[in-house]
Every structure is written in C-alpha cells, then in structure tokens.
Amino acid sequence: MRTPGEAVVAEVNTFHPTAGDRASVCGRLDAERRDTESRIAALHGDFDAIVEANALVAVDDEHDPEGASTAFERAHVASLLARARDHLAEVDRALERLEQGDYGRCERCREPIPPGRLEVRPAATACVRCATGADR
C-alpha cells in the first residue's frame, strides 16, 4: 500500500494521454520519423559517394595505405545507417502503440513510463527502472 506522498509522486509520474496529448505525441513522433528518414537519405548518399569514389581507383584495402581508412569510413557510415534504420523502426512501433492506446507503458513491467522520459525519448519502451536494470 502506498503512503499519501507516494501516491502523489506516482500520479505525477504517470502518463494519462488526453486527445490533445496523443496529438502532441503523434506530432513529435511524426517529426522524429521525418528527421530520421532525412538522416537515412543523407547517409545513403554518403555511403554511395564512398563506394563511387573507391570504384574510380583500384583500391587494395590490404596493401594500400588509404585502404584501411576507406574501409573504416564505409563501415562507419554503414553502422550509422543501420542505427538510423533501427531508430525508424522504434518510432514506427511507438506510433503503433499510440494508435493501440498502449503508448507510455513499460513493455517489461507494464508500469507507466514517466512523462519526462517520453519527452526526451518519445519512442521509449521501458521505464527508467527497467531500462537501467534496477530491478535485476
């Protein structure tokens, strides 16, 4: 059973979305989605430019002093691209949860995710306690 102080803290940290809240969250998630799509397009351009530049010269990554840095650069951009794609999928899942009425609940413990966390990480799927592993 909660003490009166705990009940107040729990209520402040609970996300009960109104129609206006849902519209605001949807707007933030849509903006995040557009930004991520733009980042993906830019990274595709960077990756294609690296590949194209390397196609113009016969590069032997093993023996060419520039080959290692070229390979690193290509791998780095590929990694950033993969992370951006993963983030886009997270945003899409957050939009699905919002549509289903399950947005703002921790997928692990089912407790509400604090509004401040959702403000900073709108696609968050875990409360702070579960995200940090505090209950392990």
pLDDT per position as a tens digit, 69-126: 888 899 999 999 999 999 999 999 999 999 998 999 999 999 999 999 999 999 999 9
What pLDDT, on the 0 to 100 scale, is given for residue 78? Answer: 97
What is the average pLDDT value for the chain, to the nearest integer?
Answer: 82
**120-to-21, 28, 30, 40, 115 alpha-carbon distances in Å:** 15, 10, 15, 21, 9
Strand partners, 13: none
Q: Are 33 and 92 in contact (CB under 8 A)?
A: yes
**Which DSSP category does 19 fall into?**
H
From the list 128, 130, 121, 132, the residue with the least C-alpha distance to 90 is 121
What pLDDT, on the 0 to 100 scale, is given for residue 53? Answer: 82
The more confidently predicted of residues 13 and 113 is 113
The more confidently predicted of residues 9 and 74 is 74
The number of helices, as runs of H, and strands, as runs of E, in the chain is 5, 0
What pLDDT, on the 0 to 100 scale, is given for residue 13? Answer: 45
Binned at pLDDT 50, 70 and 90, residue 9 comes out as: very low
- For residue 131, give every residue at least 6 positions away whose Cβ sits within 8 Å of its Cβ, in sequence order, or none: 124
**Which DSSP category does 8 fall into?**
H
Contacts of 50-56 spanning 24+ positions with Cβ under 8 A: 50/74, 50/77
